[in-house]
Chain A
Amino acid sequence: MNRTKAAETAWAALHQVAPDLEPDLTEGGARLRQDLELDSLDFLALVETLSRDAGVEIPESDYAQVATVDGLVGYLETHG
Chain B
Amino acid sequence: MGDFRMPSLGADMERGKLIEWLVKPGDYVHRGDLVAVVDTDKTVMDVETFEEGIVAELFTDIGSTVPVGTVMARIVQTPAETSAAAPGQGPPRAVPPPEGTTEAAPRPRSWPPPIRNLAQRLGVDLASVAGTGPAGAVTRADVERAAAAAGAAAGAGGAVPAEQVPAAVPPPAKPVPAVAAQAEPVRGRTVRSSPRARKIARELGIDPAAVHGSGPEGAVTESDVRAAAARAGAAAGPEQAAPPGPEQAAPATPLPPPGPPAEAAEAGGAADRRGSLRRAVGKLMSRSKKDIPHYYLSSTVDLHAALTWMEAANARVPVASRLVPAALLLKATALAALEVPEVNGHYADGRHRPSSAVHLGVAVSLREGGIIAPAIRDADSLALADLMASLRDVVGRARSGRLQRAEMADPTLTVTNLGDLGVDAVFGVIYPPQVAMVGFGRIAEQAWAHEGMLAARRCVTATLSADHRVSDGLRGGRFLARIGELLQKPEEL
Known: A40-B324, A47-B319. A20 touches B392 (CB 8 A): no
Q: Contact at B319–A61, with CB atoms within 8 Å?
A: no
Q: Work out how many contacts link A and B, with CB atoms closer than 8 A.
A: 49
Indicate if B367 sits at the interface (CB-CB under 8 A): yes
CA of A34 to CA of B419, assembled, Å: 12
| A60 to B255 alpha-carbon distance, docked (Å) | 28
A60 and B418 in contact, given A41-B324, A44-B324 (Cβ under 8 angstroms): no
Please tell me the number of chain A residues within 8 Å of chain B, measured between CB atoms. 22
**Chain A, Cβ-Cβ closest to B322:** A44
Across the interface, which residues of A come within 8 angstroms of B324, CB to CB?
40-41, 44
- When chains A and B are docked, how far (Å) is the Cα of A12 from the Cα of B392? 21
* Residues in B126-152 with C-beta less than 8 Å from chain A: none
Is the beta-carbon distance between B322 and A12 smaller than 8 angstroms? no
Q: Is B229 an interface residue (CB 8 A)?
A: no
B422/A40 in contact, CB under 8 A: no
How would you classify the secondary structure of chain A's contact residues: helix, strand, loop or mixed? Answer: helix
Q: Is B272 an interface residue (CB 8 A)?
A: no
CB pair A60 B314 closer than 8 Å: yes
A41 lies within 8 A of B391 (CB): yes
Q: Does B395 contact A (CB under 8 A)?
A: yes
What separation, in Å, do the CA atoms of A37 and B311 have in the docked complex? 23
A16 cross-chain contacts in B, Cβ below 8 A: 254
Contact A40 B420, CB 8 Å, known A12-B254, A15-B255, A59-B315: yes
Residues in B with CB closer than 8 Å to A61 are: 311, 315
Would B326 and A41 count as touching, CB distance under 8 A?
yes
Chain A 10-48, CB-CB to B under 8 Å as 1, else 0, gives 001001101110000000000001100101110011011
In residues 177-213 of chain B, which contact A (Cβ within 8 Å)? 196
Known A-B contacts A12-B255, A33-B420, A40-B325; the reply to A48 vs B315 at CB < 8 A is no
Residues 407-448 of chain B, each 1 if its beta carbon lies under 8 Å from chain A, else 0: 000000000001110100000000000000000000000000
Quick check: A39 and B418 within 8 Å, CB to CB?
A: yes
Q: How far is the CA of A11 from the CA of B222 in the complex (A)?
A: 18
A57 at interface, CB cutoff 8 A: yes
Q: Are A60 and B322 in contact (CB under 8 A)?
A: yes
Complex Cα spacing A48 to B317, Å: 12
Shortest 4 CB-CB contacts between residues of A and residues of B: A39-B420, A40-B324, A51-B319, A48-B319
Interface residues of chain A, those whose CB is within 8 Å of chain B, are: 12, 15-16, 18-20, 33-34, 37, 39-41, 44-45, 47-48, 51, 57-61
B contacts, CB < 8 Å to A: 196, 222, 254-255, 311, 314-315, 318-320, 322, 324-326, 365, 367-368, 391-392, 395-396, 418-420, 422
* Given A19-B222, A20-B368, A47-B322; 16 other pairs, CB 8 A cutoff: A12-B254, A12-B255, A18-B367, A19-B196, A33-B422, A39-B365, A40-B324, A40-B325, A40-B326, A40-B418, A41-B395, A44-B324, A47-B319, A48-B319, A61-B311, A61-B315
